[in-house]
Chain A
């Protein structure tokens, strides 16, 4: 019998534009961009130059702080541009993709007989280790540090998020294999989390070597930090691993088929998309390719193309590229409109955690929300709001105050290692004073992570 954890706090933002459960191959993406900026706290060093031919699985770059872990190309083709920013910071490696993907043939490995060290080396050098990230910090895991827990989340609770079961369709065997590998390299039982309302609530039991934990309740029930808080809370110095379910299947494919699988099924969502559905694309696909067959809504101020979901995603624009870990694209209208006496209007069309708008009359209505801020930044006034959407035994406001004050000891005392920026996304959403707390947590984590990396003090040779 799986353990069930009920979360009462949180909020499901009801949006228009959920992807229908059907999928098509995406238009062949002419270019693919792999962005080191999608990885937390890395110092990237490129392994290719413009003009190089690559195969799916060819090394692209690595992190000087964590040099064993190689990020590889999801497609075959030609490196057309090394995108650099100020001070020659590596921003991306752009690849002109072949029409049909040719994969780098990797050596065979037998999971049963291989020892953990060999297996870890194999995963690191062939590109899939980069999908294993840690809580805290959300950075790529260091292969030499054993995790305190391993979580594979079988659902995504974010607004309009894809059905993870659908993302895994046809990849069940690879998923199973991936779980086995994860368990072996971590030396721990994998916690496979599912949601009580999802179709895969029972499917998790089918995988041996895992411990199924069922969560129920609204978003952010699917946040790994929230889950860890209730399964195995992190102490200072602990590192837990987490991997997205589809990427577990990617690990499985690597060991069973000896090739790097660069495909990525994504959900195309949002109210500005005329036909929200799934697409079978690749990691780092261009928005141009993903949105090619879609007619975008004609809105007064244009549309915002987001890689990821509306709470934590990146504004990439129509000429941007899919984030490395993202399995969703959201397109919503920009909202620069001014509303006459909007603060006094009944507000049937306004979504709110509070019942200050008459939209409380329609508790199941779905909204086509725009990017409007609905107000201006103010000093922190209203208390008790964040707590309603923060299902952890942590005081979010006091933690943010400790971050604001730069008081690291107090941050640690209040649980900075147990939270992620994404856990504050709903706080940011509901905040009456429009305080942007995700960036605050990100900055605090960057500082702590930087200090931790420095403290390892291992000379880097590569």
Chain B
């Protein structure tokens, strides 16, 4: 480490004020602070500071996503071999999945960080760590066989239009990863919906009984007696729910396993990084709306989605992933404590409304979060206004009473 430290310290003057590579200082700073924590002491204000910084925060979020990533990799292989009807060993299954998922992760990070570096050099900013999380979120919400060029276009769109035009990390209105996902969904709908995109490497060689419908669509059609998903069949509704909870059903890379996501949620809540207020209220909102709509299932027998057990909304699709990793993005969520409850609850409500009443969109969660991202400042405005009104009322009492 010593020689490396010396190297960093030796080249630093070239990037400092007046150095010949001053322009590339953000680049140097990005790498230097990745290798070594910055050695800056405090100058004004509090003389000591909390050990935490944005790098540590982002590292924790990535750590929380690792269970979902690993299980996602395994599941990509698992679904593939089931669909083509082949037996495979555990390691083969995992390696297949890794072979499919890793390029997505690498391209997402490579392209996204590349764009960030360019913007930082142009603007002379330091590299912000925001994309470290977005770069992992994006592959986790994509189908495993997504062409890499599409991913590239989506990442560039999300970073430039979703974030940099607003001023970079901390300034964006919409969640960056969801901006990428929404871009893909609306720009290349054929590659992000339909029967085959959720399972990797299936051409025409599928097993008998293969079905590519989403879990909720299955549920809605059969009213609980589930035949199967992808290449697997289920004996009972409980088996199906269990598979959905563990994550061994087709879907986007990282969002199938509710269990892995819950482990992530536990890490985020325990470390104090993720807002439990938002996570809990999203779940509550989803359940509340689910039960409400479920009450109308007798009146509208044509819509099978009304009859779905309401709690299954929390297990299938992107609901859990969105609640834990997307809705909690502090930059795009409500910032006030009570605003977070409202924001989260409405995300849950909207996601279920879209899923049940407009089943043509399997992306209820994505749309709900993006919509509430836009509404979050409005929620905060009213929460803050409430505080202001209480203060004004107190002044009035003091002057008249």
Contacts and interface: CB of A to CB of B under 8 A. Distances in A.
Contacts of B331: 381
Interface residue range, chain A:
35 or more
A336 interface: yes
Interface string A378-394: 11111110010000011
Given A233-B394, A433-B54, A382 B48 contact: no
Contacts of B388: 413-414
Of listed B52, B130, B169, B391, residue having the most chain A CB within 10 A? B52
Interface string A421-449: 00001101111111011110000000000
Contacts of A343: 34, 37, 53, 55-56, 59
Contacts of A255: none
Nearest to A418: B391
A384 B337 contact: yes
Contacts of B46: 310-312, 425-426, 428-429, 438
B12 to A, nearest CB: 10
A354 B384 contact: no
A336 B39 contact: yes
Contacts of A357: 51-52, 56
A233 B55 CA distance: 39
Contacts of A370: 41, 48
A67 interface: no
B89 interface: no
Given A373-B40, A376-B40, A438-B45, 20 more contacts: A343-B53, A353-B52, A356-B60, A372-B49, A374-B49, A375-B52, A383-B335, A384-B275, A384-B330, A384-B337, A398-B335, A413-B391, A413-B392, A414-B384, A415-B391, A428-B49, A430-B52, A433-B170, A438-B44, A438-B46
B126 interface: yes
A431 B50 contact: yes
Contact of A374 (B50, B384, B398): B50
A85 B242 CA distance: 75
A383 B394 contact: no
B35 interface: yes
A315 interface: yes
B36 interface: yes
Nearest to B2: A340
Contact of A375 (B1, B29, B38, B273): B38
28 contacts: A235-B395, A235-B398, A306-B47, A310-B46, A311-B47, A313-B47, A338-B8, A339-B36, A340-B4, A343-B53, A354-B50, A355-B270, A356-B272, A370-B41, A372-B39, A375-B38, A378-B53, A379-B169, A381-B54, A382-B54, A383-B330, A398-B335, A398-B336, A413-B391, A415-B391, A426-B46, A429-B49, A431-B50
B357 interface: no
B208 interface: no
A397 B330 contact: no
A38 to B, nearest CB: 16
B32 to A, nearest CB: 8
Contact of B387 (A236, A332, A340, A395): A395
B41 A334 contact: yes
B41 A374 contact: no
Interface residues of B, number: 62
Contacts of A372: 37, 39-42, 49
A315 B50 contact: no
A428 B40 contact: no
A187 interface: no
A375 B53 CA distance: 5
Contacts of A159: 48
A395 B398 CA distance: 22
Interface in A305-335: 306, 310-313, 315, 330, 332, 334-335
Contact of A429 (B38, B50, B167, B170): B50
B48 A13 contact: yes
Contacts of A88: none
Nearest to A357: B51
A352 B5 contact: no
B57 interface: yes
Contact of B170 (A330, A350, A379, A430): A379
A432 B384 CA distance: 23
A2 B401 CA distance: 26
Contacts of B35: 340-341
B36 A355 contact: no
B52 A432 contact: yes
Interface string B220-245: 00000000000000000000000000
Interface string B376-394: 0000100010011011101
A352 B130 CA distance: 21
B175 to A, nearest CB: 13
Nearest to A350: B51
Interface in B94-122: none
A134 to B, nearest CB: 17
A347 B51 contact: yes
Contacts of A425: 45-46
Nearest to A372: B41
Contacts of B1: 340
Contacts of A197: none
A126 interface: no
A376 B270 CA distance: 24
Contacts of B333: 383
A344 B375 CA distance: 35
B136 to A, nearest CB: 15
A437 B44 CA distance: 10
B292 interface: no
Interface in B331-379: 331, 333, 335-337, 340
A378 B170 contact: yes
Contacts of A432: 50, 52-54, 57
A137 interface: no
B394 A235 contact: yes
A450 B399 CA distance: 24
A97 to B, nearest CB: 28
B128 interface: yes
A332 B48 contact: yes
B47 A414 contact: no
